[in-house]
Homo-oligomer: A and B are copies of this chain.
């Protein structure tokens, strides 16, 4: 039987969360990967999450349904809002209202059930500073909620939310991942990837990713459509 502490790692199928999973595993955690099916337009990211979870041999990978598409309000879940092809000022239309709060809540629920006290989320405040729920101040506020709002927390356990990427640039993340053996060819970052996981090369997420590989001096293993 494993003597390792358990951790729940939120994985989306993207580059950041794959690296986060690699870091959790390197730190000695028994890894439970959690993904959300929230009606995202880029459905292939759930396939990618599965590929990533499998490649790391996680103890369990769950995909939980959350009907965020019924709420609308984001280019990522609502077909009537277009995904921008250039970086805009401020918070992008790809912002999903309260997304990380919702995802962390579900990760917390699962953590409590399996007896994990550690949660990992691949937020980064450097490249995507437009998202309010990627900031450390938000993460700390959520830790407080976790410790006050659960049986485990009230019972004296302390939940910790690990954000190993929060201060890293995309290039730094890629360097770390390469060192830890992440196969980035399995990951999908593109907001409008096709069913095989091939990227558009045009959206915000693709641009950041390309630039990251360039800056890291690593050959980009991303499969592009053209």
Is there an interface contact between A138 and B133, defined as CB atoms closer than 8 Å? no
A115 → B minimal CB distance (Å): 10
Is A68 interfacial (CB 8 A cutoff)? yes
Number of interface residues of A (CB under 8 A): 43
Q: Which residues of B contact A66 (CB under 8 A)?
A: 64-67, 106
A118-173, CB < 8 A from B:
132-133, 135, 137-138, 141-142, 144-146, 148-151, 153-154
A67 to B96, CA, bound (A): 19
Q: Which of A44-52, A70-78, A180-188, A196-204 contacts B (4 or more CB under 8 A)?
A: A70-78
User: 7 tightest CB-CB pairs across the interface, nearest first?
Assistant: A73-B113, A98-B109, A97-B112, A133-B149, A65-B67, A102-B105, A97-B109
Is A101 interfacial (CB 8 A cutoff)? yes
Is there an interface contact between A113 and B97, defined as CB atoms closer than 8 Å? yes
Is A29 interfacial (CB 8 A cutoff)? no
A198 → B minimal CB distance (Å): 29
A147 → B minimal CB distance (Å): 8
A134 → B minimal CB distance (Å): 9
A62 to B70, CA, bound (A): 8
Closest residue to A98 on the B side, CB-wise? B109
Is there an interface contact between A108 and B113, defined as CB atoms closer than 8 Å? no
- Given A150-B97, A151-B95, A109 contacting B71 (CB threshold 8 A): yes
Q: Which residues of B contact A135 (CB under 8 A)?
A: 148
In this complex, the member of A71, A98, A109, A112 whose beta carbon has the largest number of chain B beta carbons within 10 angstroms is A98
30 CB < 8 A contacts A-B: A62-B70, A62-B71, A64-B66, A64-B67, A64-B70, A66-B67, A68-B109, A71-B106, A71-B113, A73-B109, A73-B112, A91-B154, A95-B151, A97-B108, A97-B151, A98-B105, A98-B109, A101-B108, A101-B146, A105-B105, A132-B150, A132-B151, A132-B153, A132-B154, A133-B149, A135-B148, A138-B149, A141-B149, A142-B149, A145-B145
Interface string of A77-109 (1 = CB under 8 A from B): 000000000000001000111111110111011
A112 to B137, CA, bound (A): 20
